[in-house]
Every structure is written in structure tokens, then in C-alpha cells.
Structure 1
Amino acid sequence: MQSGKQIGDFKLLEELGRGSFGCVYKCQNIFDLSYHAIKIIQFESLSNSDGIVGELLKDEISVLAKIDSPNVLKLEHYFQSRSNCYILMEYCNGGDLEKYWEREGRRLQEQKVIDIIIQVLNGLSELHKFNIIHRDIKLANILMHSDQVKIADLGFCKQLKNKDMEVTLCLGTIGTMAPEVARYDSYGLQSDIFSIGCIFYQLLFGELPFDCSEVKVYLSAIRQQKIDFQRYGVVIQNETKEVIGKMLKEDPKERLTFPQLFQYSMFTKIQNMSKVSQIAQKNVSKIEISRFYEQVYNNKKDVQIYQEGMNYLKQNEEAFKSQQQSQYVESLQRVNQINNNHQNSENVSKLAFELRATQYLSQHQQPISDSLQQLKDKETIYNTDRTYSSIHIKSQIGDSSSRQNTQIVQKYHFLYDALQFCFRTYNEINEIQFDNQSQSLIGKFMLLKRIRNESKCYLQDLEKNPQLQELKGGFLTYIQNSQFHIVLNQIKGNQKIFTNLRQEYNNELQEQATGVFSLSYCQALMELHAQIKQEINKQAEIKKKKDLVIVLLHIQKCNRFQDLCSQKIDIDEEFLNIKKKNIIDIIKKVQY
């Protein structure tokens, strides 16, 4: 394919290589001029090998969308045309590890190799956390961006149902392929450990550890376990020899596991590579990063933090990054006291070291002015339930001391938010240009009927609870909205739709809801969900594709209507701020 061709928002520049099932190009976004890598796969190739290629492609896209690691190539976008599918990924300026190894004379210094393997293991541990097996780890499938190493080409990857599951499909490359794979035996996650052991040796000694001229010769060499640690006069430390030897064991049960690997002193760095380090990396220069890691790696403390503490930190990274370390810990401790949450006390002490490291990285960033109380008011620190407090409720209903009245008012405030959410979603669906616009009518009608019926329930309670009067205008607006009858008439006026309508939907084409309305409502939204997924796959432009994914997420929430009614909804966050987020982060929240 010639350079200069435009695909969606991207202009092809040069071919970077050929992956498992497609050609990879460097490309440039024509609007912001940013560089990316794009893999182009022809649909006709997806039917090869009895459809295996297509299944592998689905696994690759699914896996890349889930993984968020600095050492795994990031998926940025996915779209299709009539003849091709396109996977847009981050661009790496250093090429692959094989070319780098060759440029350096095919033998690297031991410490440099350990630094590379540490990053490969960090990326692989993230894959294995999701029970994802790579199945083709080799130098050519590891990319470099500046000094950072990233596992790439997940075209052979497979997500297992659990960590003990095994598969039998023989995929990979002889030389780095685990023996159980080459023998067509069943295999699991430990096959990747063998592959890393192979490249560990290759980077040090200039050749793969076992003769791979033929499969039989290769398997025989592995069985004999004759690993030459004196090849070409290369001298390495005994610990390195031990680690490589145990990674290359023929029996996968005898190979080192991640917990065992991390016990070796050379890999203590992995224990210190936590989420905070990844957050900080995005905001500093290369020099600052190297100084930061030097401090982290030399620190003997256990700075691994529990998942709960990590979530707190990530939710408030901007606040944490811009305050003094002493303020961090003091603020966290005060919040724990306020919330009477003793479980977080240990998380505070474990966060302390990483907070110091983050402060070091962020010394030039402009501090934010929000105080702890302001952050607390904005519900950004340890406040995810997003329910109205009793004080907030009282401020809206006056000085009523009746608990029952308070609960009723809270119920209808939440209900009004939920209906507003549903109506905003209805308007989003209206903006979608379906190939056949009638496809969306039933889903839209059921959304409007839900809004209308729930509003009528409010009017019934209003007679008994005068304190609900302030909400009357909002609910009446939904009852009087003409869209309900417009969509209803469109359905009845379309002979093809009306004739082929399933009985449960036919019964709902009236003002009053049937006894099975909730079931019909969920079914209609699920069908609409599926229709929009088809539109997403057809869309090549990122902005339009992103808008469709957002609608998909909103429909998903509307389908769980009772959950939607149980919380205070931030409409601006759900419908405006979400458009500023990365499309992959939004996709992760969508249930496929």
C-alpha cells in the first residue's frame, strides 16, 4: 500500500512491518498531527484456517482494550471498512527489540538485559493478571519507545477462563516456543515464561538457547537441558544463570512462577513498579523518570499498595500530585477518621513512600487550590456512593423532621435524575443515522414509555405528599412531551414494523404498561444496544465512533433502571465530561 493514502482521520506514512495477520504502518492524524501505528487486516484473511484467524483477531482487540500497562502496547482505536479492519495503536519510535539487539552487536550488557526483561515481565504479569496468554513472545514482538519496552503483536493471544485452564492450538515461533506447545500438548500461562527465558538468554549470548533447526532437534535439546552459559566467553552472575535455567525447564510445573521470580534480587524493581509510578511517568521528562526510578529501586520498603488504596489514589491523582507529602498523609488520615474507616489506615502508611516519589516528580506543577473540605464537598475523596446526605435532603424540603417524608423526597429526586438521564439518552439515539431508521423505534418508544409511566407514579404520590410539589413542573414536562405519541404513531404507521412486531411489544403499544413491561423494556434496549454495536463497527471516524460508544454506555445504564434510580446522577459528568475521555477507557465500561 502506498504512503499518503488516507484512512479515516489518518494518513499512512511508511510500512513498519508485518504482524501475525496484517501489515502495520506508521500513520499521522490529519487534525492534531500526532503519530500512531495502524494494523490493517483484510477481511478475507479472517476466514483462513477454518475461521481461526478471525477468532484470534477478536482476542487481540479484546485483550488490548482491557490492558493498561506501560509495558504493553496500547490500543487507541478500532474500526472497519467494507474490506478491512483497522487496529490503531500507540507509535513506538525505537522499532522492535530484535533490530535494537542487532544494532548493538547481538550481545547486550547483563544489566541492560535485566532492565529489559524486568519491563517485559512487568507487561506479561499484567497480561497474566487477566489470564491472558501471549503465545508468541520473541524479540521481534517487543517494541521500544525511548527507553521503554512494550510487549506487542498480540495476534496469537488468548484469554483463558481461569489461571489453570489450558489450550491446545499450536501457535508461536520455534526457538522461543515452549516444548509443550511444539509437541501439540495442552499448555497454559507458564508457556510464556519459557519464551521469556529464551529471549533472556538470546539477548545475553547472541543466540537462542536451543538448536531450533528442526522441531525434533529442538525438543531433544530442551529435554537434555544442556544450556551453554559460557558461549562466546560471555560472563554473567550466577543468579542470572539460575533464573534462566529455571525459566527454561521442560516441565512447565518446574518453571519459575511470578511470585518465585520476584524473590530474586535482580527483580525487586518489579515489586516497586506500582500504579503511581505509571501515573507519574506521564507527567515528567526522561531525566526525571530515570532519577525517580533510581530512588524507587534503591528503596527497600515494600511499596506495593492494596487495590483499594490504589483506586483511591488513581481517583484523586491530580490532587495528590499537587500537594505536599505531609499534607497527603495528614489529609488521608483525617478522611479515615471522618469516615471511621479503620481498614484504610494501613493503606495510608503504604501510600506514604509513593506519595513522596510523586511529589518529587511533580515539583514543577502548579498546585491546585482545593482544600480537603472543598474536595470532600465535591465528592472526590472516598465518596463513591454519591447519595444525598440527610442534610442535603433537608435543605430541599424545608424543616420537615419526618423520616418517611425525607425518604419519599429523596426517592423522587433520584427518580427525576434517572428520567433526565433516560431522556438525554433518547435524544442521543435520535442523532444516530441508522441504515434503517425504523430499527431504533421500539427501543426509543420503550424509553419514552418508561419516562412517561414513572412520571405518572409521581403525580399519584403528590396527592399524599405535598412536599413533592416543587418537582411537579419537571415531571409534568415529561408527561406532556409529544415525542411519546409521535414515536407510537411512527410504529403503527409503518406496516412492515407493525406486522412483524413481536406480541410482547404489540401489547405495549398503549398508554398503560402491562405486567411484563420491565421485561419488554430490557429486551428492547438490548436489541437497540446490538444495533448500535453494528453501527460502531461501520464507523471509521474516531469522534463519531466515540459518540456511539457513549450512547452504548448510556443505554446499558438505562437498562438497569432500578440501579439508576438509587443514586444522585451528575448529568454534566455523564453527558459532557465523558466526551473528553479516551475512547478505550469508555469502551472498558461497556458490557458486550
Structure 2
Amino acid sequence: MLQGKQIGDFKLLDELGKGSFGCVYKCQNIFDQSYHAIKIIQFASLNNSEGIVGELLKDEISVLAKIDSPNVLKLEHYFQSKSNCYILMEYCNAGDLEKYWEKKGKRLQEQKVIDIIIQVLSGLSELHKFNIIHRDIKLANILMHNDQVKIADLGFCKQLQNKDMEVTLCLGTIGTMAPEVARYDSYGLQSDIFSIGCIFYQLLFGELPFDCSDVKVYLSAIRQQKIEFYKYGVVIQNEIKEVISKMLKEDPKERLTFPQLFQYSMFTKIQNMSKVSQIAQKNVSKIETSRYYQDDGMSVLKQNEDVFKTQQNQQSQYVESLQKVNIINNTYQNQENVSKLAYELRATQSLSQNQQPIQNTLEQLKEKETVFKTDRTYNSIQIKSQINNTNSLVNTKIQQKYLYLQDALQFCNRTYSEINQIQFENESKSLIGKFMLLKRIRSESKSYLQDLANYPELQGLKGAFLAYIQDSEFYNVLNQIRGNQNLFANLRQEYNNELQEQATGVFQYSYCQALMELHTQIKQEINKQAENKKKKDLVIVLLHIQKCMHFQDLCQEKIEIEEEFFNIKKKNLIDIIKQVQF
């Protein structure tokens, strides 16, 4: 037992339980006396199961770092010693949901269950937004802080590359595990919906919906779909029966999706509506609210725009003006938010008897409109100034294109230098990724020379692009690949075709594929590093490779090289991890 031991600034108190891969303790900061939870994992355990444990731990840390939801346990810090790694998390004072449920006699009131499930779905929807699958949702893995519910123990979680991706590793707990997982079939995000359906039923009826004495019995019960809603004297509304039944479908394609779930009146509170939306909600029935605000309210409001026309001319003018400004300033990030406010305002004007909250909202919209108008005027002056300097808008765009391209190539070249400093266990595997990066720099530089003949005003950029073309490193790496008989013999055809100066028609695909493989290789190197500083340097390289993969996006804006390659080293490791796609 480690009670009383001090780790960094934290003193260990009570043992809270054992997670998937480590022991969890309550701890106290010795300086500010605040309470936290800390998971302690021995490095020796990370080699178990052919490295799977280490991969899962890495996924847990990266996922927790990215998620910011009141219904998902928050990661506060991550650090290491020579023998252990430590995950510091927020402390929940009411224990887990399983213990709470047991204290209540394993039966909770219907409305209390709905409130809990709403919060669980809210947390899960945030995970699914990032294509993160939890894989072990059960009462013991849901914590409570006062009356707030938080999804915890993401030790089995996995971030998928896209929402339709599936995995095959069988993880979870029989009783809440989706049937496709128990059968060792491939599965995706919908497996989590099945698990929530199981705990929804369990909280109401005091037991799980399907016999889970062994896997065969469990799968057979799910196949028969005999879900008992009439036992122990428990009476629930028909809508809940329908929701649970559809969440527990054997075929994941037949289960309710989040948009379908949110159409049910009991789940309308799960949507994060703005204050304007909430005003409207107070003045309509639950059915009307779900109709107006499903899919964030946008599609229905747009389709029924005439219904929400204002009765006050001043308000109508501001809404229309705001939308016009919004269209003109379509490059600004808050365009969608302003559009949403405008449509919500129309809804509220139609639905609310009390106009005072609308006046308050109008003042906010006026301020946003003023800012947008100012930005638009400033941008207009900037563009006119550029046109006057070059006497040609086309030439200005060409200049801007190659100034941005110059920045992007400098970014790629610095990333290449970072990769070159990594000591790979198998250097030959990194050669294709490095070659593709150099080929991108070289081919894009040649496109500049082709345009130079038509646009002499680009002459000032010639030195930088010419230096990339004359760099001998391209041929050095190319010769290393051709000289490595084992690598060259086993090279995939698409890579083999690219071993030349001229880019093929599928270069973009090969380029992305090679950088993805290099990305994976560096992640493996991170797992081998015990020192936080070296781990941090490698995570920064991952972030830079990730941006190089999206090269066209890299060419769309001015890049602050100092910020990207020097100031980033001053940031906390967790803050950097949040930006990386693991």
C-alpha cells in the first residue's frame, strides 16, 4: 500500500480502486491542499500482451488530453519516474455509479435514470465527435461528483481514423459488451450505444438485460431479443422501452444513432443550446422543442425560415444585415455561430412572448456586426493597397500564393531536419517518408520556376526556391533507398513508381501514405522513451509531420516559423499532445 507516500507535489491518500492497467489513489496537493485522483502504472506492465497495454495507455492519455467535457473525467497532468508513469485526474467525491446504484437498492427512479443517461450520452457524444470509442462502458466506469456524472477509465478507448472505421480487438465486459465485440467481429462507434442501452436497463430494473453467465448464453439471449420490461413491479413509459429496445439491437446498423436519440423528448436537454434557444424552449412544448432544435436546430430553422419572420422591423433589419455581413466575411471562424444566432433569434421572436431577452441578444449581435464590418473594411483597404502596388489583382494572388508556398516548404524542410535527428531502431523504414517529403519540396519549387517566366514580379523569391532544387539531399536519400537491396526489393509498387524526379498522378496519395507510416514509426519510438524531454521532442515532430500531410492546408496561410519550431518547445507536453492525431 502506498498511502502517505509523496509523488512530486502530491501526497497519496486512500486507494480508490484498480483501473484497467493501474491502481488509482486519492491524493492531495501539498501546496494548495486540493484533491485529485492519480493512476499509477508500472512501465513493466506496458510490455504485457505483446505491447497492447502500452498502446492502450497511450490512447488513454492522448484521448483524455483532447476531451473537454463536464461529463468526461478530466486529465490534469501526466508525468513519469524511472519505473512508473502517473496520470493525474480530477477527483470525484461520490464514487462510481455502481456503488451509488447499490446503495439505492439497485433501483432508481425513472427521472433520475433519465438524468444520468442524458449526462452519459453527453459525455459519449463528445468522445464520438473525435471518433473515440470507449469500449468498456459500465456502471463501475462512470464516476459521480455531487450530482454530476463523468465517464471514466478510458483504458480500453481507441481513437478511430474516421467515424466509419472498425477495429477487432475484443475488449470490454460481458453483460454490457456489444455482441459484435463478443463474437470477435469488427466493430465501431455503435458498440458504445449498445453498452449504454444495457446500463439504462440495469439502472431501472436492478439487473442487466441479457443473461451473461457465459459468452454463448449471452449471445444467444441477444439474438432472441427477449427484453423483459414487465418485472419486479417496475413501470416505465413506453418511450423508454422503445429507446432501450432500439439501443440493444443485435445488428449495429439497426441501433439508434445520436441524431435519432436526440429526437426523443426525454433527451432534449442533452443539446447544448444557447441562451436564445433556451428562451424559445420555455415557450413551446417538448414536442415542438425537439422539432425545432433537432440537428442543432439549423436544418429545420432554415427550411422553415418564413415561419420565424420577425414582427418588429428593427429586429428584422438587424437579422438580415447580420446575415449579409456574415456571407461577406465567410472566412471567419465564427461565421457558423453568427448564422446560428440569427436563426435562433428568428425562432425566439416567433415563439417568445417576452421580448426583453431578445433585446439583450440583439445588443450582442449588434456588437458582432460592428466587429465584422470593421474587419471587412480593414480587409478591403488591405486588398486595395495590394492591388495599387502591383496594378493587378491576379498578380497579387500569384505573389501571395508563392509567399505562402515558400512558408510551407520552409515548414517541410525544417520538419525533415527534425526527422533526420531521430535515431530510429530501423533507419531504412524511415527513408521512404523522408524521400517523399523532399520530393514534395522539390516538385513544388519547380512549379514556381514554371510560373516565373509569366510573372517577373516573382523574381525576388527565386533564391529560396532554387536552393531547394539544388539541394543534393534529394539524391542522397534516393540513392540510399536504391542501395538498400532488402528495402528496394520489398517496396510497394506505388512507392517504386515515385523513385524519380517527376511526380506521378497518384503522388499525393503516396505522399500521404508514406508520411502516415513515418508518423506511426515515430509513435513507436515515443513508447521506447522514458525521458519526458525526449518524448516531448518526438511528439512535436509528430505534430509537424501531421501538418505536412495536409500540405494544401499548409499553403493557405502565413506560417509563424518561430512559433511552430521554437516557442512550441516551451509548451506543456499535454498541450502539445492535444494537437496531435494519434
TM-score in terms of structure 1 length: 0.62
Q: Confirm or deny that 1:300 pairs with 2:289.
A: yes
Q: Secondary structure at the match of 2:173?
A: coil
**Aligned to 2:326, which of 313, 332, 336?**
336
Q: Which residue of 1 aligns with 2:202?
A: 202
Q: Which residue of 2 aligns with 1:382?
A: none
Q: Confirm or deny that 1:273 pairs with 2:272.
A: yes
Q: Which residue of 2 aligns with 1:243?
A: 243
**Aligned to 1:587, which of 568, 577, 581?**
577
Q: Which has the higher contact order (CA 8 A, sep 6+)?
A: 1
C-alpha contact 1:40 1:84 (8 A) present in aligned 2: yes
Structure 1 residues 251, 562: closer, same or farther in 2, change over 3 A?
Answer: closer
Q: Distance in 1 between matches of 2:25 and 2:70?
A: 21
C-alpha contact 2:323 2:342 (8 A) present in aligned 1: no
Structure 1, residues 360-390: CA drift from partner, whole Å, max 9, x if none?
89x99xx9998334455788xxxxxxx9964
Q: Which residue of 1 aligns with 2:494?
A: none
Q: Secondary structure at the match of 2:289?
A: coil
C-alpha contact 2:80 2:532 (8 A) present in aligned 1: no
Q: Distance in 1 between matches of 2:213 and 2:101?
A: 21
Q: Confirm or deny that 1:225 pairs with 2:255.
A: no
RMSD value over aligned CA atoms? 6.3
Which residues of 2 match residues 441-456 of structure 1 at below 5 A?
none
Q: Which residue of 2 aligns with 1:511?
A: none
Q: Distance in 2 between matches of 1:292 and 1:18?
A: 46
Q: Which residue of 2 aligns with 1:393?
A: 386
Q: Confirm or deny that 1:192 pairs with 2:192.
A: yes
Moved more, 523-532 or 112-121: 523-532
Structure 1 residues 421, 262: closer, same or farther in 2, change over 3 A?
Answer: closer
Structure 1, residues 416-462: CA drift from partner, whole Å, max 9, x if none?
655775798799999x99899x999xx99x99999999999999999
Please report how far the alpha carbon of residue 177 of structure 1 lies from its aligned counterpart in structure 2 after TM superposition. Answer: 3.5
Q: Distance in 2 between matches of 1:526 and 1:261?
A: 35
Q: Which residue of 2 aligns with 1:92?
A: 92
Moved more, 174-183 or 569-578: 569-578
Q: Distance in 2 between matches of 1:558 and 1:404?
A: 27
Please report how far the alpha carbon of residue 59 of structure 1 lies from its aligned counterpart in structure 2 after TM superposition. Answer: 4.7
Q: Which residue of 2 aligns with 1:143?
A: 143
Q: Which residue of 2 aligns with 1:319?
A: none
Which residues of 2 match residues 254-403 of structure 1 at below 5 A?
255-270=255-270, 272-273=271-272, 300=289, 302-303=292-293, 329=319, 332-339=322-329, 347=340, 349-350=342-343, 352=345, 371-376=371-376, 390-394=383-387, 398=389, 400-402=390-392
C-alpha contact 2:259 2:295 (8 A) present in aligned 1: no
Q: Distance in 1 between matches of 2:100 and 2:280?
A: 25
Please report how far the alpha carbon of residue 130 of structure 1 lies from its aligned counterpart in structure 2 after TM superposition. Answer: 5.6
Which residues of 2 match residues 382-531 of structure 1 at below 5 A?
390-394=383-387, 398=389, 400-402=390-392, 406=396, 409-410=399-400, 413-414=403-404, 417-418=407-408, 516=501
Please report how far the alpha carbon of residue 193 of structure 1 lies from its aligned counterpart in structure 2 after TM superposition. Answer: 3.3
C-alpha contact 2:225 2:249 (8 A) present in aligned 1: no
Q: Confirm or deny that 1:155 pairs with 2:120.
A: no
C-alpha contact 2:227 2:245 (8 A) present in aligned 1: no
C-alpha contact 1:77 1:583 (8 A) present in aligned 2: no
Q: Secondary structure at the match of 1:300?
A: helix
C-alpha contact 1:71 1:122 (8 A) present in aligned 2: yes
Q: Distance in 1 between matches of 2:123 and 2:25?
A: 23
C-alpha contact 2:134 2:156 (8 A) present in aligned 1: yes
C-alpha contact 2:387 2:396 (8 A) present in aligned 1: yes
Q: Secondary structure at the match of 1:204?
A: helix
Contiguous gaps of at least 5 residues in structure 1: 281-289, 310-324, 380-386, 489-496, 506-513
Moved more, 350-359 or 144-153: 350-359
Q: Distance in 1 between matches of 2:452 and 2:226?
A: 81
Q: Which residue of 1 aligns with 2:306?
A: none
Structure 1 residues 186, 463: closer, same or farther in 2, change over 3 A?
Answer: closer
Structure 1 residues 569, 120: closer, same or farther in 2, change over 3 A?
Answer: same
Q: Which residue of 1 aligns with 2:172?
A: 172
Q: Secondary structure at the match of 2:197?
A: helix
Q: Secondary structure at the match of 2:204?
A: helix
Q: Distance in 2 between matches of 1:108 and 1:210?
A: 19
Structure 1, residues 144-178: CA drift from partner, whole Å, max 9, x if none?
23433222223334556776776665543333334
AA partner of residue 154 (structure 2): L
AA partner of residue 225 (structure 1): K
Please report how far the alpha carbon of residue 142 of structure 1 lies from its aligned counterpart in structure 2 after TM superposition. Answer: 0.9
Please report how far the alpha carbon of residue 269 of structure 1 lies from its aligned counterpart in structure 2 after TM superposition. Answer: 2.6
AA partner of residue 236 (structure 2): I
C-alpha contact 1:268 1:297 (8 A) present in aligned 2: no
Q: Which residue of 1 aligns with 2:18?
A: 18
**Aligned to 1:569, which of 551, 554, 559?**
559
Please report how far the alpha carbon of residue 554 of structure 1 lies from its aligned counterpart in structure 2 after TM superposition. Answer: 3.9
C-alpha contact 1:229 1:241 (8 A) present in aligned 2: no
Q: Which residue of 2 aligns with 1:491?
A: none
Q: Distance in 2 between matches of 1:292 and 1:248?
A: 34
C-alpha contact 1:191 1:252 (8 A) present in aligned 2: yes
Structure 1 residues 211, 563: closer, same or farther in 2, change over 3 A?
Answer: closer
Please report how far the alpha carbon of residue 120 of structure 1 lies from its aligned counterpart in structure 2 after TM superposition. Answer: 1.5
Please report how far the alpha carbon of residue 34 of structure 1 lies from its aligned counterpart in structure 2 after TM superposition. Answer: 6.4
Q: Distance in 1 between matches of 2:446 and 2:215?
A: 73
Q: Distance in 2 between matches of 1:349 and 1:101?
A: 44
AA partner of residue 386 (structure 2): I
Q: Distance in 2 between matches of 1:235 and 1:528?
A: 57
Please report how far the alpha carbon of residue 194 of structure 1 lies from its aligned counterpart in structure 2 after TM superposition. Answer: 3.5
Contiguous gaps of at least 5 residues in structure 2: 300-314, 350-355, 485-498
Q: Distance in 1 between matches of 2:245 and 2:137?
A: 18
Structure 1, residues 331-369: CA drift from partner, whole Å, max 9, x if none?
74132343589x9797564454799999989x99xx999
Q: Secondary structure at the match of 1:149?
A: strand
User: Sequence identity, in percent?
Assistant: 70
Q: Which residue of 1 aligns with 2:71?
A: 71
Q: Distance in 1 between matches of 2:463 and 2:86?
A: 47
Please report how far the alpha carbon of residue 141 of structure 1 lies from its aligned counterpart in structure 2 after TM superposition. Answer: 0.6
Q: Secondary structure at the match of 1:39?
A: strand
Q: Distance in 1 between matches of 2:378 and 2:567?
A: 15
C-alpha contact 1:388 1:568 (8 A) present in aligned 2: no
C-alpha contact 1:305 1:347 (8 A) present in aligned 2: no
Please report how far the alpha carbon of residue 97 of structure 1 lies from its aligned counterpart in structure 2 after TM superposition. Answer: 1.2
Q: Which residue of 1 aligns with 2:311?
A: none
Q: Distance in 1 between matches of 2:285 and 2:500?
A: 63
Q: Secondary structure at the match of 1:334?
A: helix
Q: Distance in 1 between matches of 2:187 and 2:518?
A: 40
C-alpha contact 2:329 2:372 (8 A) present in aligned 1: no
